[in-house]
Amino acid sequence: MRRGAALLALALLTLTTACGQTTTPPLPPGTVTDSATGRVDMPWLRQQLDSSLTLRRQQVGVALADAATGQPLFGYNEARYFTPASTMKLLSLYAGLTLLPDSLPSLRYFSRGDTLFFQGTGDPTFLHGDVPSRRAYAFLASRPEKVLAYCDIATVPAYGPGWTWDDFGYYFQPERTAFPVYGNTVRFYAAAPHAVRSGPGAAVHLLPQRVRVAPRQFAPLTERASPDFRLSPDQDDEMHVYRAELDNRFTFRPSPKKWIDEVPYRTSRPLLLRLLGDTLRRAIVGAQWRPHPGRDSLRTLRGLRADSLYRRMLRVSDNFLAEQLLLMTSTRVGYRDSLSSQRAIRHMLKNDLKNLPDRPDWVDGSGLSRLNLLTPRTLTALLCRLHQQVPEARLLSLLAAGGGQGTLRKRYFEAGPPKVTWLWGKTGTLTHVCNLTGYVRCKSGRLVAVTFFNNNIPGDDQATRNAMQRLLGEVRARL
């Protein structure tokens, strides 16, 4: 009897254990719907946002919606305005998709007698190091006219409203111009110092580090730092090349390793004419843009495919491309006698973006300015609109992909194999600002548009990045 009872108990224990393994309680529902109002909410997410020790110390705003239908799924301070940083580039993308053709407008021109008159449209790709287009170069180099005459066009100031003035020497803040050349930056390539021995038994010593400068016209303006060179207390000691504030004099500090630096140059009309002339190997003169109505045929040269610029701009968060993109869109709006970011912004807010939940405070194309303000629900609504108007495969290919390329390459993927990307989006980072917006592919297959803003972050933002990834991972699992 005892043996029989023991066997029965063991069988019951086994059955109970087996049932426990096969009937693991499912996750609570991702959303709940209020029967009275029909409003959808996610109480579990609200509770986690409220209780997070990391997120409680800063200003947080979140808005989620179904990307396909636009139905709001969750909001947390979603109607409050935040500093959006580089997530503003999605508004510039929308302007480009709305106003520009499939190929970028490279330059405007007309021919009269033996002279070709041309002016810029803001196209940033002329000999750009990362998104180069040789269309305008080949066009100008092969023209039969004896004279190439560059004509100025009224353009916005070199720096946008609210930009940080002392970032003039950093790669991420080149000047805005009508006709950029080389991305309005100088690149410095330093090889590792070469070790040599002067003779048998002699000690090994290092030759001075050699630096190649591109474009080469800036090489005579570049010098090695002298032994008594000292940084000011506010200069970044991790940089290798420093530019004088008001002119194009560059100083580099040698290093025991190879390095590459990119520094904006100070633009001017004489410098542009010289760079164009040296590059094209043709004399370039300055002239006034005075086409004769009815006699001079004005034309626009088409250049790089627009998606190539959008992709680079969004994946690596290129501020210069975003600013120039907004200038190019202004060529399609109103008068053609100037390049104006604000003209393009006013047009978009009055027309194509007038029905957003909250009107953006939009002042530049890149998000460098802290004068920009957005609400989370407005940016999520824009994501839904983009998804409705652009084929999904194309849209996701333009964005940074989790575990793939750009600013999200180290996050938002399952390692696999195979590796599975589950978020495509745009980051937005300034000092004390860490934002993310994009699309989450849930395990159910559903695509959710999400905006996650974090402002006024004290100190390092890694804990915030980790918290966002954890919470969005739960969104992916529950929805």
pLDDT tens digits, one per residue of 148-171: 999 999 999 999 999 999 899 999
Please give the Cα distance from 257 to 319 (Å, whole number). 28
Closest C-alpha among 368, 456, 452, 370 to residue 411: 452
Please give the Cα distance from 442 to 462 (Å, whole number). 24
Quote the percentage of the chain above a pLDDT of 90: 78
C-alpha count within 13 angstroms, C-beta hemisphere, residue 100: 32
> What number is the average pLDDT over the span 342-356?
96
The predicted model scores a pTM of 0.90
DSSP state of 361: B
Q: Is the pLDDT of residue 3 over 80?
A: no
Q: What string of H, E and C letters represents the secondary structure of 152-214?
A: CCEECCCCCCCCCHHHCCCCCCCCCCCCCCHHHEEEEEECCCCEEECCCCCCEEECCCCEEEE
pLDDT of residue 16: 45
Give the Å distances, CA to CA, from 390 to 146, 325, 384. 45, 18, 10
Q: Is the pLDDT of residue 338 over 90?
A: yes
Between 195 and 79, residue with greater pLDDT: 79
Q: Is the pLDDT of residue 14 over 90?
A: no
Closest C-alpha among 95, 67, 153 to residue 366: 95
> What number is the average pLDDT over the span 388-413?
94
Q: Is the pLDDT of residue 17 over 50?
A: no
pLDDT of residue 28: 61
Q: Is the pLDDT of residue 196 over 80?
A: no
pLDDT of residue 11: 52
pLDDT of residue 335: 75
Asked if 296 contacts 343 with a C-beta cutoff of 8 angstroms, the reply is no
Which of 18-32, 70-84, 271-285 is predicted with the least confidence, judged by mean pLDDT? 18-32
C-alpha gyration radius of the chain: 28
Q: Give the distance between the most distant pair of CA atoms in the chain.
A: 116
pLDDT in tens, 207-256: 678 899 999 999 999 999 888 888 777 777 778 999 999 999 999 988 88
Please give the Cα distance from 396 to 474 (Å, whole number). 21
Q: 183 — phi, psi (to 5°)?
A: 65, 15
**Contacts with 308 (C-beta within 8 Å, 6 or more apart), sequence order:** 131
Q: What is the full DSSP assignment across 452-470?
A: EEEES--S--HHHHHHHHH
Q: Which residue matches tokens 């090994």?
A: 204
The CATH-assigned architecture of domain 35-84+374-478 is 3-Layer(aba) Sandwich (3.40)
pLDDT of residue 15: 45
Q: Is the pLDDT of residue 18 over 60?
A: no
Q: Is the pLDDT of residue 19 over 50?
A: no
Please give the Cα distance from 432 to 44 (Å, whole number). 27
pLDDT of residue 202: 61
Q: Is the pLDDT of residue 13 over 70?
A: no
Supply the mean pLDDT for the chain. 90
pLDDT in tens, 354-400: 999 999 999 999 999 999 999 999 999 999 999 999 999 999 999 99
pLDDT in tens, 424-465: 999 999 999 999 999 999 999 999 999 999 999 999 999 999
> What number is the average pLDDT over the span 26-44?
77
